[in-house]
Amino acid sequence: MTDSTSVALLSTFLHIIAWSFILRVFTNLLSNVYIYFVRAPKNLQKLGSWAVITGATDGIGKAYAFALTKKGISVVLVSRSEQRLQTTAEELCAKNPSSTIKTVAVDLAAIADSATGAQNNGWASLQQAVSDLDVGLLINNVGLSYDHPEFFDQLPEGDALQMIQLNVMAATKITRLVLPSMKARRRGAIVFIGSAAATVLPASPLLAVYGATKAYLDQLARSLSLENMSAGISIQNQAPLRAIRLAVRSLLVHSPSHVRSKNGIPTNAT
């Protein structure tokens, strides 16, 4: 093969790669424009008349409660404080007076005794509250992160276990609570609120347990999605990005020693 033939072949090869890349970017762009701006939103009421939202009295969970009641979906609000649940229910009714709302006060970090597996009263109330409802949507939102970035071996054991109980155990148990009836009705959707700390960032140093619990949710959602696709149930993990901001802030400012010294904790404390 002559030199000029080799150069021509190489040039054709590079052109093919470049055009494949451009085509891929373009089709991705078109598909995202279609999904976010053109495609009609799903009619969530067709999934069922009720949604269960954990961690529903603040932040993302409360925003879901407002969005869903606006669409005419009845909601079961789940969080610890009875008072905050009542206030949230009143706020929702003030905004959408026809809303139907149930509240369940339960500490989801303590629904099962890790040693005996015995379940607390709050869990029984939640089971009872959803037992007769046509639950079409579960928003597994509740979650706990670090109050400051910390090395894994310096994180108090109780904090680590509480994160696992709330982020992993609670989501697993509630999903197992509602999934069978969704399967029986052959409709429903389950949303996990994960975190970019697990799905966008390659690692979550100083937030290791949090990142690991959110990685669990991501993999659980992917696997359950495939398991239940043929049963007509959509399952997905959403990964909010604000975690990136926290991570960046932690790299720039909030080192563990910085936070400890700021809070008057000896820097070698465990």
Ligand X SMILES: NC(=O)c1ccc[n+]([C@@H]2O[C@H](COP(=O)([O-])OP(=O)(O)OC[C@H]3O[C@@H](n4cnc5c(N)ncnc54)[C@H](OP(=O)(O)O)[C@@H]3O)[C@@H](O)[C@H]2O)c1
User: Has 210 been annotated as catalytic?
Assistant: yes
- Give the Cα-Cα-Cα angle 118, 121, 126 (nearest 5 degrees): 105
Rounded-to-integer distance, Cα 95 and Cα 107, Å: 27
Rounded-to-integer distance, Cα 72 and Cα 127, Å: 23
240 binds ligand X (CB under 6 A): yes
Long-range contacts of 89-94 (CB under 8 A, 24+ apart): 92/65, 92/66
Member of 58, 90, 113, 227 binding ligand X (CB under 6 A): 58
**Cα dist. 65→80, 95, 139, 141 in Å?**
16, 11, 10, 11
Which is closer to ligand X, CB of 80 or CB of 183? 80
Member of 49, 59, 120, 134 binding ligand X (CB under 6 A): 59
Catalytic residue among 64, 146, 210, 216: 210
What are 53's strand-pairing partners?
Answer: 77, 139
Least Cβ distance, residue 191 to ligand X (angstroms): 11
- Scan residues 160-219 and list those touching ligand X (CB under 6 A): 166, 193, 195
SS3 112: strand
80 binds ligand X (CB under 6 A): yes
Number of residues that bind ligand X (CB under 6 A): 24
Least Cβ distance, residue 107 to ligand X (angstroms): 5
- Scan residues 130-149 and list those touching ligand X (CB under 6 A): 141-143, 145
Contacting positions for ligand X (CB under 6 A): 55-61, 79-81, 84, 107-109, 141-143, 145, 166, 193, 195, 240, 242-243
Point out the residues that are catalytic: 210
